[in-house]
Amino acid sequence: MPLPPTNYLLVGERVAAGAGVAIHERRMNDAPLRFISVTCHEDSESGKVFDLVRRPGNAVDYVPYFFLEGEVFVLARLGYPRPILAAAGPSLDGSRHPLWVTGPLNLLRTDKPLGETIEDALLDDLGLEARDILGMEPGCKYWPSPGGILEEVHSCFVQVTPTLTRAVLRDRSGLSSSGRVGAIEV
């Protein structure tokens, strides 16, 4: 894929009975944004005005993986609610948009070294200790959406001891769920 890599791969999934996503429109000034910041910009040539959204700090997608019986598994976030996907309206073929997706684990960098920040995240998210980390290597950097998101994401691959888990992630999003973590065969 040519740089910058900005393509998406989304995987939708069914969730537990009673779980779901509801979308309610409201004006932005009705409730303050708790986490993201929005800035407004004007193209000096065309006069077109557009918004850019960003998370604070530096985003890192960390990808824990392991080998088991000759197969590669990735630990990923499952069942994460993404209500904004439904805001796109109906699809061309009439299918419904996925409201729950599978994606990488992510964190915001702190002033700690990246390796230590990932160690802390693995302990918080999965209960994995530093001794369970077999190696780390940097991945690529990418821009999630040059059309509306103002951030550069770095990735890091983390080889861990085999971990077949279904850990529930603690609330980070303010949504009804932050999903869970499970192993996916690559």
Cis peptide before 64 (omega within 30 of 0): no
Cα–Cα distance measured from residue 183 to residue 64, given in angstroms and rounded to the nearest whole number: 9
- End-to-end CA distance of the chain: give it in Å, rounded: 19
Angstrom distance (rounded) from CA 34 to CA 38: 11
The predicted pLDDT at position 82 comes to: 63
Q: What percent of the chain has pLDDT over 90?
A: 24
Query: In DSSP terms, which residues pair with 151 in a beta bridge?
Result: none
Distance, in Å, from the CA atom of 68 to the CA atom of 165, rounded to the nearest integer, reads 14
Predicted confidence at residue 125, as pLDDT, reads 83
Structural domains present in the chain: 57-185 (3.90.79.10)
pTM for the model: 0.68
Is the model more confident about 25 or about 49? 49
- Report the alpha-carbon distance of residue 107 to residue 29 in Å, rounded: 27
The pLDDT, as a whole number, for residue 118 is 94
The model's pLDDT over 89-106, given as tens digits with 9 standing for 90+, comes to 666 677 766 666 788 888
